[in-house]
Amino acid sequence: MPFRDTYWNIPDWAITLLYATQALGLIVLLGKLWLRRNMWYKGEGKLPTDRFWERLRRVFKYAVAQVRILRENYSGIMHMSIFLSLIVLFIGTALATIDYDIFVLLFDAKLLQGDFYLVYELVLDFVTLIGIFGLALALGRRATFRPNRLTYSFGFQAMLWILLIDLLSGLLIESFRLAVVQPPWQTWSFAGYAVSRLWVLFGVNEATLQTAHLATWIFHFSLTAVIYAVFLDLPLKHIIYSPLNVFFSSFREPGALRPLDLEDETVEVFGARDIQHFSVMQLLDGDACTECGRCQAACPAWMAGTPLNPKEVVLDIRRALDHYGPVLRRPGSGDGLPEMPVTREFVSEDALWACTTCRACVYECPVLIEHVDSIVDMRRYLVLMEGDMPDLLGNAMMQAERAGNPWGNPRGTRLDWASGLNVPVMAKKKKADVLYWVGCAGAYDPESQKTARAMVKIFEAAGIDYAVLGDEERCNCEWARRAGNEYLYQEATHSNIAVFDQYEFQTIVTHCPHCFNTFANEYPQFGGHYDVVHHSTYITRLINDGHLKLTKPIKELTTYHDSCYLGRYNEVYDDPRSALIQVQDIELVEMPRSRDRGLCCGGGGAQVWFETHQPRPVNEMRLEEAISTGAQSISTACPFCTIMLSSAAQSKGENIPVRDLAVVVAEALG
């Protein structure tokens, strides 16, 4: 199909200038990227390259398909419009370059011709309009709605306007060309054609159009070269860093923290204080952050008015990296670097201790940043290296070490909750199908003792061969691990594994999601491999298999509160609900924030053992949500959640029962 060449009005000198400036811009970009990479590598470890194809699939899912961004209609459509436009236009420009510089000049042939060229023009015009639409949404959002989770800075405004000007200049170039050349296929380039009709309508002469075409063309490629050069200095940098972050992110189970080798005598500092104590991935996290604020909006501690903002924690690490950049860019390894503190200097202690480790931030992050890992690593430094922690938390740790439980109750009272019940003990049986892990709350907290007794009733009604450890149980201290005390956690872990391995059992059943998570996801780090089931899943199986007959109706409207460690950490959402709705006459109503978007009770991350100043306490916010449903009771599947929500009800004078689902099911047995 005959048509004039795209470069009909471009002199050779301009084409030479084009490639010179583009090459220079790319060289600057790659040089800055290499320097930044060297700064990351002053941190601990290295970027992983195993499981290549799985990593590549993950990049397609999160960086290309943007599944997490598309959870939100407005911002999802906005971001996808801009992203799609930039990617397709980049590919289109590359094809035009290949066509002119390889096919035409070297082979005297054309790639972009015939029907393929028509589709090419149609697609490029379409995505140009899509990109302009997305940028208009972004600018309008920042000018009118102004959600407080976003970062408002000159860099973001400049980025959006630069991209908009770049797209508009490209559209103008096409319109000038079509107004002069007027090829028979011009309507396929519908956007450029529509603008070109304006020049014809106003009678702009050909010489003026040619001058405007060349000037706009030079401006367009010069702007592109400038964008390359300043790419990593603007928020645009996440276009490069975010896919890298997704590609290199960890494959660890969501509920598993990175273990410390406490016996490595070469390690001088445990945890993270200075910039070089953070891992390479944690330093990359800061650069990959899109500053979208989804983590901030989902954070219960931020809602409660504490100093913690997960977005700012990640950005503070990036600010520290920039601040110490002159030192980090010096040749040599990370050894022998001077002190470059981040903890306290950039991230406050109050912010660190406010975290409930609920992982709402991690779940919402579109580029897989692990905020909780960085927070825990800084807590590890404070606790292990300085012994610096809230007083009440330190007391709970001391009691867990001395008495085997954070309540400080005598070891010999571990089985007092079972008074009047004939509960089998492993030390006598040696073997059972199910080892029921009661946990510290089940043993000592009055409300959780009801759950433990309900589980005994359920086991016996179903004819299960079970046993408990009794006085051999000791706290697994998973909460202490989240609070930074890896030493106490590992000591408890080795002790519990040694006890487990004395006996024969098929399954560990626990009603505490925190215990469930650490046994299932973290004990394998230390050689403890067990089949671990949360009681909500186990109860549901018993009901579905016909081992439990729920004959007593309970006429009640209840709402179920999702435990973070059961839900977001382990994706157990349906089993607790299934157990509840199979009770006759029970109706289940959902809270506004439920399942993967459920709001934390405020007790995770060891928060149940100490207090942080919260102008609007997390547990009270969650209680208000539950009450707003009109429910007559709150059902839980976690002792910490039961404690926190019961405490909130007491504080606010609300007479609404908070019960573990096992208590409800046991009552329905009659």
Ramachandran area for residue 430 (φ above 0: left; ψ -120 to 50: alpha; else beta): left
CA 39 to chain centre: 24
C-alpha span between 21 and 576 (Å, rounded): 61
Query: Please, how many CA atoms are within 13 Å of residue 481, restricted to the half-sphere of its CB?
Result: 22
Reference 50, options 264, 328, 250, 283; nearest CA is: 250
Reference 170, options 236, 217, 101; nearest CA is: 217
> Which residues lie below 8 Å from residue 149, measured CB to CB, with a gap of 6+?
292, 293, 294, 296, 297, 311
617-633 average pLDDT score: 97
Three-point CA angle 21, 24, 29, nearest 5°: 125
Residue range 509-518, pLDDT digits in tens: 999 999 999 9
Percent of the chain having pLDDT more than 90?
A: 86
Residue range 116-160, pLDDT digits in tens: 889 999 999 999 999 999 999 999 999 898 999 988 888 888 999
For tokens 């990479």, name the residue: 37
- Look up residue 545 and give its two tokens: 């298999």
Reference 403, options 477, 482, 469, 468; nearest CA is: 477
- Look up residue 95 and give its two tokens: 């094809």
Confidence of residue 106 (pLDDT cuts 50, 70, 90): low
Reference 476, options 416, 424, 530; nearest CA is: 530
584-609 average pLDDT score: 96
Confidence of residue 5 (pLDDT cuts 50, 70, 90): low
What pTM was computed for the model? 0.92
For the cut 60, the answer to whether the pLDDT of residue 642 exceeds it is yes
> Which residues lie below 8 Å from residue 535, measured CB to CB, with a gap of 6+?
455, 509, 510, 511, 637, 662
The burial class, CB within 10 Å (0-12 / 13-18 / 19+), for 96 is middle
For tokens 């090459």, name the residue: 23
Specify the pLDDT at position 15.
Answer: 86
21-39 average pLDDT score: 95
Specify the pLDDT at position 494.
Answer: 97
- Look up residue 461 and give its two tokens: 């009604």
Specify the pLDDT at position 250.
Answer: 93
Specify the pLDDT at position 38.
Answer: 94
Residue range 488-503, pLDDT digits in tens: 999 999 999 999 999 9
For the cut 70, the answer to whether the pLDDT of residue 1 exceeds it is no
214-240 average pLDDT score: 92
For the cut 60, the answer to whether the pLDDT of residue 333 exceeds it is no
Residue range 381-429, pLDDT digits in tens: 999 999 999 999 999 999 999 999 999 999 899 999 999 999 999 999 9
